[in-house]
Amino acid sequence: MFTYRADATAAQIEAIPRGLSRLPGLIPQIRRYEYGAGINPGNKDFVVVADFDSNADFVTYRDHPDHQAFIAECITPAVAERVAVQYLIS
């Protein structure tokens, strides 16, 4: 989940879903990928939910060069705060 920087531009914010839409085609370990803008004022601005078949698949995604480039180019300049949780379904 992300909170945008106060000075994030519309172009920076619009680049995030565009960049995310490319990742499943580049990283085959992604089983399911959903993302969207938050709808409740005062909560996070944007959320990403990703499913993987294994912890190893998650690590491959996390460390993948295309994912890391996306973070550096799109997330870091526009995001003030990031909250993440990785969990196993029991």
Cβ neighbours of residue 52 closer than 8 Å, sequence gap 6 or more = 29, 30, 31, 58, 61
67 or 41, which is more confident? 67
Assess if residue 89 is contained within a domain: no
Assess if residue 27 is contained within a domain: yes
How many domains are there within the chain? Answer: 1
DSSP 7-68: T--HHHHHHHHHHHHHHHHH-TT-SEEEEEE--STTS-SEEEEEE-SSHHHHHHHHH-HHHH
29 or 89, which is more confident? 29
Return the CATH number at 18.
Answer: 3.30.70.100
65 or 89, which is more confident? 65
Give the C-alpha separation, 31 to 38, whole Å.
23
Assess if residue 87 is contained within a domain: no
Assess if residue 14 is contained within a domain: yes
Q: Check residue 90 and give its pLDDT.
A: 81
Give the C-alpha separation, 84 to 61, whole Å.
14
Q: Residue 78 sits in which domain range? A: 2-82
Give the C-alpha separation, 80 to 90, whole Å.
32
Q: What is the pLDDT of residues 45-64, one digit of tens each?
A: 999 999 999 999 999 999 99
Assess if residue 37 is contained within a domain: yes
Assess if residue 78 is contained within a domain: yes
**Does pLDDT of 89 surpass 90?**
no
pTM for the model: 0.91
Assess if residue 53 is contained within a domain: yes
Assess if residue 60 is contained within a domain: yes
Q: What is the mean pLDDT of residues 10-23?
A: 97
Q: What is the mean pLDDT of residues 33-48?
A: 95
